[in-house]
Amino acid sequence: MCYNCGCNMPDNPMGMGHAGAEPKGKSITNKTFDEAGRSMEETADESKRNALDLLKKVLGEKPARIVKDPSGFDRYDDR
């Protein structure tokens, strides 16, 4: 649950299961990033870096502009 609650234990799902790695998992853990990376043919570290980059944009810590992607979803582009 570390990535959710700030407990600083990235492998501990706090009894909630690993999101993306277990069917009913709710906690974002290192296993979540392992599975996300594997599904996108990238490493867990690459998945974490991509998440961090987007989170900085969403939280306003990194300049970005929101554009409508052809898929219909909003996308945060670098400025």
The mean predicted confidence, pLDDT, of the chain is 95
Please give the backbone phi and psi of residue 58, each rounded to the nearest 5 degrees, phi first: -65, -40
Residue 27 DSSP code: B
pLDDT of residue 73: 96
Domain map of the chain by residue range?
2-78
The one-letter amino acid code at 28 reads I
pLDDT of residue 67: 97
When pLDDT is cut at 50, 70 and 90, the band that residue 79 belongs to is confident
Report pTM: 0.87
Q: In this structure, are residues 40 and 51 in contact, taking their beta carbons and an 8 Å threshold?
A: no
Give the SS3 label for residue 78: strand
**Comparing C-alpha atoms, which of 39, 52, 43, 4 is closest to residue 17?**
4
pLDDT tens digits for 52-69?
999 999 999 999 999 999
pLDDT of residue 2: 80
pLDDT of residue 1: 56
